[in-house]
């Protein structure tokens, strides 16, 4: 049995809203100028009631602004409808992923009440900052102050359109691509493509061949691709108030994955290709090698024991006893022949990885380098940053040590508008760190291409920062870039 939960200060952090300069004595590189945004859940207790699962928290966005060797830190809760009402009454009113709000004393079976938590990702695009939840309306925030401006449909007039937590910014095509699921009488997926100014280029809807939960997707030059793993959703007990959303998911490992390929025009019929069972939350990247072949890489698990099941990792971490083992996340690759409708599946990196990111100009086109976190299957979370070369299978790693945990690494590119090759790794890699040994929160800055040398700066932050899920980098005077060659 686990003796001490040294990660408890991360998952049980009690952050406050901050707005302060951080004096770092010149240790931050002078050419690192811009803003790192992060988003993650917070607020797990109100009126003596505690949430049971880490994904039940409300969104808090953090910004770290770098300018000429100085650092300014802000943190702010997203003022969603849910957050405002619950804060005013100091009690939970809305259901979340696993949590059902206390029922009215006169209503033993209360119908569900869901609203956006805005707690998963932060995206900066066309001069605006957005906080996304899963299939709920995103919220626009002020990119400087982090103050909440308004819930938004991103200018799309279709009232049925839905937005998931993950989107793809395709710089070489000047596109911002979204998907969103709707499980109603029949399962539907909405696709929305915006241009660099946030104007809608195309929006279309397709009926899904299976009602499953999907968190992420792939994009290439001409296609949007989803891996419909067998996490089947039964919404009837959710809508009637008998189950939470996560309880409605049924993992059927014997049914395999179904790869769904959609043309971005929305005019062609989808192409479906069967694959072996793999649970996956996060895509690495996708591209086209020809008119007939797609290459898709992702982090795949044989089972979803960190998310689903009776006692998954994201639930156990709040109890203080989350000892593994857990199913490892391996980096896998599909090669799909669209004409023959065949698939080749291989493992590129055998280990336990998560939260892959890459140079922003290589999303949707051929890429060489990916940045990730890595950890032991016997423990929750990750303590190692990785820069992997998917073309050679080699990698560089830096381990922060036992009891120190790192989050999704984001690169601040040294150069924009790049093509395929070594320039993808040039820049500064940043990750929010929790040191459970010293109960300290910090941002680690490493040199891309040399991350095995460790942090060139480790800046302590005077606030409790919970585990954040996803974020982005905004360079100073950020504009839309046209990448070089595909």
pLDDT digits (tens, 9 = 90+) for 108-141: 556 778 889 999 999 999 999 999 999 889 999 9
Higher pLDDT, 186 or 210: 210
Q: Is 482 a residue whose pLDDT tops 80?
A: no
Higher pLDDT, 285 or 421: 285
pLDDT band at 237 (very low <50, low <70, confident <90, very high): confident
Q: Does residue 484 sit within a domain?
A: no
Q: Kindly report which listed range (23-32, 251-260, 466-475) carries the lowest average pLDDT score.
A: 23-32
pLDDT band at 1 (very low <50, low <70, confident <90, very high): very low
Alpha carbon distance 408, 430 (integer Å): 8
Any idea which residue has 């003596």 for tokens? 48
What is the SS3 assignment for the chain? CCCCCCCHHHHCCCCCCEEEEECCCCCCCCCCCEEEEEEEEECCEECCEECCCHHHCEEEEEEEEEECCEEEEEEEECCCHHHHHHHHHCCCCCECCCCCCCCCCCCCCCCCCECCCCCCEEEEECCEEEEECCCCCCEEECCCCCCEEEECCCCCCCCCCCCCCCEEEECCCCEEEEEEEEECCCEEEEEEEEECCCCEEEEEEEECCCCECCCCCEECCCEEEEEECCEEECCHHHHCCCCCCHHHEEECHHHCEEEEEEECCCCCCCEEEEECCCEEEEEEEEEECCCCEEEEEEEEECCCCCCCCCCCHHHHCCCCCCCCCCCCCEEEEEEEECCCCEEEEEEEECCCEEEEECCHHHCCCCCCEEEEEECCCCCCCCCEEEEEECCCCEEEEEECCCCEEECCCEEEECCCCCCCCHHHHCEEEEEEEEECCCCEEEEEEEECCCHHHCCCEEEECCCCCCCCCEEEEEECCCCCCCCCCC
Q: Does residue 227 sit within a domain?
A: yes
Q: Count CA within 13 A, CB hemisphere, residue 457.
A: 21
The whole-number average pLDDT for the span 93-98 is 88
Structural domain of 284: 8-475
Q: Is 235 a residue whose pLDDT tops 90?
A: no
Q: What is the pLDDT of residue 156?
A: 85
Q: Is 68 a residue whose pLDDT tops 80?
A: yes
Contact of 138 with 168, CB cutoff 8 Å:
no
Q: Kindly report which listed range (43-57, 144-158, 206-220, 350-364) carries the lowest average pLDDT score.
A: 43-57
Higher pLDDT, 446 or 6: 446
pLDDT per position as a tens digit, 251-280: 999 999 999 999 999 999 999 999 999 999
Higher pLDDT, 415 or 410: 410
Kindly state the greatest CA–CA separation across the chain: 64
Q: Is 79 a residue whose pLDDT tops 80?
A: yes
Q: Please give the angle made by the CA atoms of 150, 152 and 156, to the nearest 5 degrees.
A: 155
Share of the chain above pLDDT 70, in %: 95
Q: Is 420 a residue whose pLDDT tops 80?
A: yes
Q: What is the pLDDT of residue 11?
A: 81
Q: Is 483 a residue whose pLDDT tops 50?
A: no
pLDDT band at 104 (very low <50, low <70, confident <90, very high): low
The whole-number average pLDDT for the span 319-326 is 79
Q: Does residue 2 sit within a domain?
A: no
pLDDT band at 18 (very low <50, low <70, confident <90, very high): very high
Q: Does residue 119 sit within a domain?
A: yes
User: 0.85 cut: is pTM over it?
Assistant: yes
Any idea which residue has 């820049």 for tokens? 427
Provide the CATH number for the domain around residue 97: 2.130.10
How much is the CA Rg of the chain, to the nearest whole Å? 21
pLDDT band at 478 (very low <50, low <70, confident <90, very high): low
Q: What is the pLDDT of residue 314?
A: 81
Report how many domains make up the chain. Answer: 1
């Amino acid at each position: 049995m686990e003796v001490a939960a040294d990660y408890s200060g991360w998952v049980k952090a009690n952050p406050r809203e901050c707005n302060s300069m951080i004096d770092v004595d010149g240790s931050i590189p002078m050419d690192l100028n811009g803003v790192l945004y992060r988003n993650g859940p917070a607020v797990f207790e109100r009126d003596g009631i505690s949430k049971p699962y880490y994904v039940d928290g409300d969104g808090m966005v953090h910004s770290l602004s770098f300018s000429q060797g100085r650092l300014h830190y802000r943190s702010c809760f997203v003022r969603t409808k849910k957050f405002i009402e619950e804060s005013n009454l100091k009690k939970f009113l809305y259901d979340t992923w696993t949590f059902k709000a206390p029922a009215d004393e006169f209503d033993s079976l209360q119908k569900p009440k869901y609203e956006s938590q805005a707690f998963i990702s932060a995206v900066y695009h066309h001069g605006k900052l957005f906080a996304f939840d899963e299939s709920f309306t995103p919220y626009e925030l002020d990119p400087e102050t982090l103050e909440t401006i308004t819930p938004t449909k991103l200018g799309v007039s279709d009232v049925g359109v839905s937005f998931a937590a993950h989107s793809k910014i395709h710089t070489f095509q000047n596109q911002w691509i979204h998907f969103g699921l709707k499980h109603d009488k029949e399962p539907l997926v909405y696709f929305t493509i915006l241009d660099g100014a946030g104007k809608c280029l195309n929006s279309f809807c397709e009926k899904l061949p299976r009602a499953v939960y999907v968190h992420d997707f792939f994009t290439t030059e001409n296609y949007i691709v989803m891996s419909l793993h067998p996490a089947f959703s039964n919404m009837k007990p959710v809508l009637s108030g008998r189950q939470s959303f996560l309880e409605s998911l049924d993992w059927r490992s014997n049914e395999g994955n179904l790869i769904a390929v959609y043309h971005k025009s929305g005019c062609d019929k989808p192409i479906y290709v069967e694959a072996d069972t793999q649970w996956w939350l996060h895509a690495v990247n996708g591209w086209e090698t020809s008119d007939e072949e797609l290459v898709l890489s992702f982090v795949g698990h044989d089972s979803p024991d960190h998310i689903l099941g009776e006692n998954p990792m994201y639930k156990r971490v709040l109890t203080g006893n989350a000892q593994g083992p857990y199913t490892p996340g391996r980096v896998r690759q599909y090669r799909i022949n669209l004409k023959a409708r065949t698939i080749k599946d291989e493992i590129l990196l055998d280990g336990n990885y998560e939260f892959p990111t890459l140079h922003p100009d290589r999303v949707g086109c051929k890429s060489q380098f990916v940045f990730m976190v890595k950890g032991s299957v016997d423990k929750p979370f990750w303590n190692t940053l990785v820069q992997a070369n998917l073309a050679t299978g080699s990698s560089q790693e830096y381990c922060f040590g036992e009891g120190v945990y790192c989050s999704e690494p984001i690169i601040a590119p040294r150069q924009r508008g790049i093509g395929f090759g070594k320039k993808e790794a040039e820049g500064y890699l940043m990750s929010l760190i929790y040191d459970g040994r010293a109960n300290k929160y910090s941002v680690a800055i490493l040199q891309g291409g040399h991350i095995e040398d460790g942090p060139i700066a480790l800046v302590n932050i005077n606030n409790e920062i919970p585990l954040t899920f996803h974020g982005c980098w905004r360079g100073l005077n950020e504009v839309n870039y046209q990448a070089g060659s595909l």
